[in-house]
Amino acid sequence: MRYIDAFNHFFPKPLWDRIQTFAGAGKNIGKRMQNIPCIYDLDERFRVMDGFENYQQVISLGMPPVEAMGPPNATPELARLGNAGFAELCTKYPERFPGYLASLPMNNPIEAVKELERVFEANDGAVGLQIHSNVNGMPLDHEQFFPIFETAAKFDRPVFLHPSRGEEMPDYLSEDKSRYEIWWTFGWPYETSAAMARIVLSGLMDKLPNLKLLAHHLGAMVPYFEGRVGPGQDQLGKRTSTEDLSHVLRHLKRRPFDYFKDFYADTAVFGSRAATVCGLEFYGVDKVLFASDSPFDPERGPGYIRDTIAVLNSLSLPKEDMEKVCFRNAQKLFRVE
């Protein structure tokens, strides 16, 4: 079987080196990132990849988001460093990296559109873009971000949605931060799901009907809560007494449920067979792409790749369906050989 890993993370050396030089979110990129050589060391990355046959990666940056690394006048340069570094890797090692997901300075939307147009027009290996579930706390359906989605739709390139949430968002109103890393365990799936809901209910997908969106981690909470996004959302507004939400459903062309089904999703669920079965049942084999979220497994590289392949093999899918999930859907979505 061939595998195109659609969602995994790496920092090209020029950006990684720059991150080490300044304070804040960049310098304190996190003890987890600093202690995973596979996220920045190309030789270690190749060693991990060589453990799997017929295996390629579409690479994207790790956390934090570019917009969290500096003010609006500084992040465009950081995005260019990352994208140029990825373009160089894709040009030099096409057999390993058939493409990359562009990163953008989302706290500077005008420059973000310019950078997106640049990488897509350059045809330098950018096969889509990665954005996060909020932009320094701002929702993605804010009007200032619409031109970014519009540009992706114009070039027919997918938008990959990655969760972003930190301990500064408490679990309870009585506290000032999240405890026990709940902000990650349950906060990230909620973040992705909330961003998906805002995209759906704002009418963005009606305005850009050919926009392609992928929700990381097999669509987060959505497949498991099919009843809530289906019959539950069909009753939107009936639970709210502080405002009139009756206009929301009237202005949508379809049920909310139908838009949620239009998302693509990936298999990066940390080796969970139950989650994989649930996600595949909800999205179908034509909308799910193989992805590992490497290198964030306990082994710092190969673990989630191996575990995800093992889960897929355990499902006994027909060969045609297995090929779709493992590489053909990625070929089609990214337009790569």
Residue 31 is predicted with a pLDDT of: 60
pLDDT value of position 30: 56
Q: How many residues does the chain have?
A: 337
Q: What is the CATH number of the domain that holds 110?
A: 3.20.20.140
Percent helix, strand and coil across the chain, each to the nearest 5: 45, 10, 40
pTM above the 0.75 mark?
yes
Contacts of 136 (CB under 8 A, 6+ apart): 67, 68, 106, 107
pLDDT tens by residue, 25-36? 555 555 667 789
Task: Answer yes or no: are the C-beta atoms of 215 and 287 closer than 8 Å.
Answer: no
The pLDDT, as a whole number, for residue 34 is 79
Residue 84 reports pLDDT greater than 80:
yes
> Which pLDDT tens digit goes with each residue over 161-182?
999 999 999 999 999 999 999 9
What is the extent of the structural domain holding 249? Answer: 3-334
Identify the pLDDT of residue 39.
Answer: 96
How many structural domains does the chain have? 1
Q: Residue 48 pairs with which residues in a beta bridge?
A: none
Percent of the chain with pLDDT over 70: 97
Does residue 304 have a pLDDT over 90? yes
**Residue 244 pLDDT greater than 80, yes or no:** yes
CA angle 297, 298, 304 (to 5 degrees): 30
In angstroms, the CA 243 to CA 240 distance is: 6
The arithmetic mean of pLDDT across residues 102-129, rounded, is 98
Degrees (nearest 5) of the Cα angle 310, 263, 311?
5
Averaged over 219-233, what is the pLDDT? Answer: 97
**What local confidence, expressed as pLDDT, does residue 190 receive?**
98
Task: State pLDDT tens for residues 10-58.
Answer: 999 999 999 888 765 555 555 667 789 999 999 999 999 999 999 999 9
What does the pLDDT read at residue 29?
A: 59
Strands 213-215 and 264-266: parallel
Q: Answer positive or negative: Cα dihedral of 131, 136, 140, 143.
A: negative
Kindly state the average pLDDT of the residues 247-275. Answer: 98
Determine the average pLDDT of the residues in 144-168: 97
Percentage of residues in the chain having pLDDT higher than 90: 94
Q: Is the peptide bond before 256 cis (omega within 30 degrees of 0)?
A: no
271 CB-near residues (< 8 Å, 6+ apart) = 303, 304, 307, 308, 310, 311
